[in-house]
A and B are shown apart, each in its own frame.
Chain A
Amino acid sequence: MAVDWADVYRRTYTDLVRFLHRLVWDADRAQDLAQEAFARALGQTPDNPRAWLFRVASNLAHDDARSAIRRKKHLVLIKGETETQQAVPDPQDLLEQQERVEAVRRSLARLSDRDRETILLWNAGLNYHDIAAATGLSASAVGTTLARARRRLVEAYDALEKHHVAR
């Protein structure tokens, strides 16, 4: 059955960008990859378009990360905020925000690929059924995976915080 990709785009684009942003940590790249995922989707007729898109986007992000490592490209941490703010950014606020984002990035990096992807998919708004379709997990395993991912994320973040305070 044909897929109304324009409708899927309207309902999914923002979620997809949010998901990609925490994989590539670059606002422009996240948008670019989201558009690329949709461009590749046109003409396709997957059973679960939303899950299919996130799977393609995830693959694109992993390819992009490998390319970025080869190029030794630096990652953008606060560019999105600085570009969109109309007021002059407060250096203190920027510094603290940047530290928080960096801590989250490092915490997520300590998760396994499967755990990280699952928690980010949930955070992007997918339900368990879609997460299972996007990751290949069984629906009954999604809850267990999310429980483990949440625990490891919080533990990693707490460990970084303790290290930070101890400095």
Chain B
Amino acid sequence: MSHVDEGNIHAYLDRQLEFAEPAAREALEAHVAECADCAALLDDARTLHAEATAVLRMSEPTTQDPPPFEVVTARAEGGAGRRTPTIARMRTLAWAASIVLAVAVGWYARPSFTNRTREAGVPTADVGLRSVASELQVEPAAESAAARGAVTFNTPETQPTVAPLDRRELQAAEQVVAAAVRDSIGVLQARQALAAAEGIRADRDNEIQALVQQRLARAAPQLEREQRRVADEVAEIAPVRARTTLADAPSLAEADQLAGVGGDGFAEGGAWREVDRTTAEQVLGTAIVAVDDLPIVGIFVPASGRAQVRVRQTLPSGRLLDLHLRRGTTAAPAAAAVATSGAPAERSAITDSTAMVILRVGELLVSGRAAVGRDSLTALLGRLREPPRLD
């Protein structure tokens, strides 16, 4: 056998050589056993193979279970060629946002309705949801509002006729509610469920909406348990702001952020407790920092006792800024460079409407998260200071 080429060596390492020619593997091994040059080539290739695999592994995405195949069939029936993925996603997010807003604002409004209910002797959960149904008219953002018209929740004058739905449509609606209950409108789950519903023909939208409302009402007790923390978080937002800013939220992510149910676990009940500044600084072991001139609306420490602090501030727009403070024990090169240059911000990520920036301030590692653009957030975090003491 002549010397082996690099392509065949990689095919050998990938266990693909034998597919083309069953005896090729044995032939290559026999040659390498006798040829020092080719043996060295194989060793080098093996090292390269391992290194390349390791490099790629560093960017391995988070794996998720595939959504139901019905997502694809619904999408295809909705006209794959007529609607781009971007528009489809906008529609999905718009409807998702409307559900989030309905529940979040409904729960915000719940205390006042609870009082009324007690006076009237009506079960609380039902009225909480009915308050959403009767008082809210939430329009999904952008393109969807024009395409579907306003999404109206079950008001007497607009009560749609619920025609029988086929199995696929029924499943889609059930998924919306299941996601809402399971994860308190968890972003990913709701998106996946809504993606299934999103592909349903536009002329059935009203029926689906009505069905979703029925299911939500039926799930009220479960919602009450699972979404109490949403109510707690939203209660921090002033009533007027909750109705105006939330309704104006252009995306699910932003609504999520405003409602304080971001995916970082901050809003998880019991995981964090609010403390005063002195206690927070004792836990952290150093002085806290916050964005200069922005009001601090809460300081939190983990119930687990870890040396971390969350500082929540409000922006002039009413949006929330969350700062996560932690003492850095090992300086990452980039962060060290930031510290020595005095320029604050460095690594950032941005979604459609929320941004996260991580930086080092002295001995603290600070991650900031807010429903603003990355540049705006970076500029904001350039104003991190130790807040003045009032005493």
Given the known A-B contacts A128-B11, A144-B6, are A92 and B55 also in contact in the complex, defined by CB atoms under 8 Å? Answer: no
Q: Which of A43, A95, A123 has the most CB of B within 10 A?
A: A95
Check if A94 is an interface residue, CB within 8 A of chain B. Answer: yes
0/1 interface trace, chain A 86-100, chain B, CB 8 Å (1 if under): 111111101110111
Which chain B residues border A142 with CB–CB below 8 Å?
7, 11, 16
Segment from B100-108, B159-167, B261-269, B285-293 that makes contact with A:
B261-269
The answer to whether the Cβ of A112 comes within 8 Å of any Cβ in the partner chain is no
Is the beta-carbon distance between B45 and A147 smaller than 8 angstroms?
yes
- Sorting the interface of chain B by its residue count into under 10, 10 to 19, 20 to 34 or 35 or more gives 35 or more
Q: Which of B8, B52, B347 contacts A119 (CB 8 A)?
A: B52
B202 within 8 A of A: no
**Cβ-closest chain A residue relative to B199:** A39
**Do residues A92 and B7 form an inter-chain contact, with CB atoms below 8 A?**
no
Cβ of B151 within 8 Å of any chain A Cβ, yes or no, is: no
Query: Do the beta carbons of A92 and B332 come within 8 Å of each other?
Result: yes
Report A-chain residues with C-beta under 8 Å of the C-beta of B64.
17, 31, 84
- Bound Cα distance A147, B76 (Å): 38
Render B27-58 as a binary contact track against A, CB cut-off 8 A, 1 for contact: 00000000000000000010011011101101
Min CB gap B91→A, angstroms:
12
* A42 interfacial contact with B, CB 8 Å: yes
Report the Cα distance A14→B17, complex, angstroms.
Answer: 26
Most buried by B among A129, A146, A157: A146
- Contacts A32-B85, A35-B75, A67-B86 known; A91 to B326 CB distance under 8 Å? yes
Interface residue count for A (Cβ, 8 Å)?
A: 81
Chain A interface (Cβ within 8 Å of chain B)? 5-6, 9-10, 13-14, 17-18, 21-22, 27-33, 35-36, 38-40, 42-43, 60, 64, 67, 74, 76-92, 94-96, 98-105, 107, 119, 122-123, 127-129, 139-147, 149-151, 153-154, 157, 164-165, 167
Q: Can you list 27 contacts pairing A with B, beta carbon distance less than 8 Å?
A: A6-B69, A13-B66, A17-B61, A17-B63, A17-B64, A22-B59, A29-B85, A31-B64, A32-B89, A36-B75, A38-B72, A38-B76, A39-B72, A40-B76, A77-B349, A78-B349, A81-B62, A86-B265, A90-B326, A91-B326, A92-B365, A95-B332, A142-B7, A143-B11, A143-B14, A147-B9, A164-B334
Q: Which B positions have Cβ atoms within 8 angstroms of A?
A: 5-11, 14, 16-17, 19-20, 45, 48-49, 51-53, 55-56, 58-64, 66-67, 69, 71-73, 75-76, 80-81, 85-86, 88-89, 187-188, 191, 195, 263-266, 268, 271, 302, 308, 324, 326, 328-330, 332-335, 337, 347, 349-351, 356, 358, 365-367, 374
Q: A29-B85, A76-B349, A98-B349 are in contact. List 8 more A-B contacts (CB 8 A).
A: A30-B61, A36-B88, A82-B349, A84-B263, A90-B326, A127-B19, A147-B7, A167-B333
